[in-house]
Amino acid sequence: MSAVPFSVRYDDGAMTSQFNINLGFDKLFEMIQSYFGPGVIRRKSEAENAARLSAARTDIEVRKLGVSAEYEEKKARLLAERDFQQFEEQFRAKELPPVVEGEILDDVPIVWVPEPEIVVAEHRSPLQYVEHKRLNNIKQVTTQAVDALKGLPPHQEVSEEPVDPDWTARFFDSVKDVSNADMQKLWGKLLAGEIANPGRFSLRTLDVLKNLTSAEAQRYHHYLQFCTNQADIVIPELPPSNEFSLYRGRLDGLVECGLLHTAKESLYGIDNKNIKLSYRNKIIHITVLFKIPTNPANLWSTVTYRLTRTGIELANLDLPPANEAFVQAVCESARARGYTVEVVENLPPSEPTGEEKPPSST
């Protein structure tokens, strides 16, 4: 199966539009309602949103004047009386430096309806306790999804296409028993990604993530810094003293998790094929200059773990920068075998990068 390449982006810190966020919120509301039915959540009233936005605007207005903690009392009065004009004149006279006004983002217009008193009471039954805990887990994951929707990059458009009902049911069934905060955050990012682009994450990915521990997820994210843009983790032959030489045997556990394919050994130098490896914004060109057939001393051995489709989908949730020391180790390993190595900086793309073929091997 051909690997789906990573979309390497150079984020300028900008966020998506308010329209995109509100559309995402609407879809999230519909997903929760479709799973739980009516009565569990409701939309915030216009008065509730207006009150919150009024307070948010006041906070921004006060920050524009450079107000520090010593003015908290006057800020509280401002919130109550809305006499901003007089407040502004007072502080402009002190020539306090203004700050850039940020965009006011409305909170998610969803309120979870309080549970019946019998459920919240300390004498709840074991079954009620379990259901209460599961509902709280789902609330935490949806809160993380809200934050992820607010942080969508400007190029990420939220599709109006609804999320598949079967996918929705499988998702909430999966997260109701997830209580680890790090995993809840990961699930929230995944939910936001599916809301923005339905079909982005397969049901198989939900099953894999459901069986993934927090430690395994952290280990996988750690090893992604060694992954190429073609979705390969290439471990070259390195001296035993090199810290990266130990990684050859440490990735097999992630194969069992369904994130990586079984390792494949490759041997370069028995033909004149050149090698190209891309690490985020760096492209490594490895050129064969010696005669073929070559001296055995010029053969370059690597072990490659290719990401599975699930591994690629999860990697694109939070792809870390390439490890510069590892990239340098790859280059030095090839040079030690007599290859010419050239590292080229790749210019920031204005559009998502196209699919690249993995490095050829024999």
**Residues 289-303, mean pLDDT to the nearest whole number:** 77
Q: Is the pLDDT of residue 239 over 90?
A: no
Domain boundary among 106, 137, 153: 106
Do 101 and 122 lie in a common domain? no
Which residues in 229-281 belong to E strands, given as ranges?
232-236, 264-268, 275-279
DSSP 68: -
- The answer to whether residue 361 sits within a structural domain is no
Please indicate, yes or no, whether residues 30 and 166 belong to a single structural domain of this protein: yes
Residue 347 has pLDDT above 70, yes or no: no
Whether 223 and 338 map to the same domain: the answer is: yes
Q: Which residues pair with 285 in a beta bridge?
A: 276, 342
Are 314 and 240 in the same domain?
Answer: yes
Pinpoint the alpha helices (H) of the chain.
18-36, 46-64, 72-81, 84-92, 117-120, 126-150, 165-175, 181-196, 203-210, 214-223, 252-256, 309-315, 324-336
Mean pLDDT over residues 250-267, rounded? 92
287 found inside a domain: yes
Across 282-309, average pLDDT: 85
Band (344; pLDDT cuts 50, 70, 90): very high
* pLDDT(200) > 80: yes
Please report where in the chains the tokens 């002190």 appear, as a residue: 94
Tell me: do 31 and 54 sit in the same domain.
no
Domain boundary among 210, 226, 242: 210
CA distance readout (Å), 352 to 20, 132, 167: 20, 43, 26
Of 28-42, 135-149, 338-352, give the lowest mean pLDDT range. 338-352
Q: Residue 45 pLDDT > 80, yes or no? A: no
The rounded distance, in Å, linking the Cα atoms of 149 and 18 is 10
SS3 306: strand
Residue 55 lies in a domain: yes
Measured CA to CA, the distance from residue 194 to residue 188 in angstroms comes to: 10
Residue 225 covered by a domain? yes
264: pLDDT strictly greater than 50? yes
- pTM recorded for the entire structure: 0.76
Boundary of a domain, candidates 89, 106, 123? 106
Summarize pLDDT for 66-121 with one digit per residue, the tens: 555 555 555 555 555 555 555 555 555 554 434 333 444 455 567 777 655 445 55
Per-residue pLDDT, averaged over 182-209, amounts to 97
Q: State the residue range of the domain holding 286.
A: 217-345
pLDDT at residue number 297: 79
Q: How confident is the model at residue 64 (pLDDT cuts 50, 70, 90)?
A: low
Give the total number of structural domains in the chain: 3
pLDDT at 84: 52
Let me know whether 184 and 35 are in one domain: yes
pLDDT at 83: 52
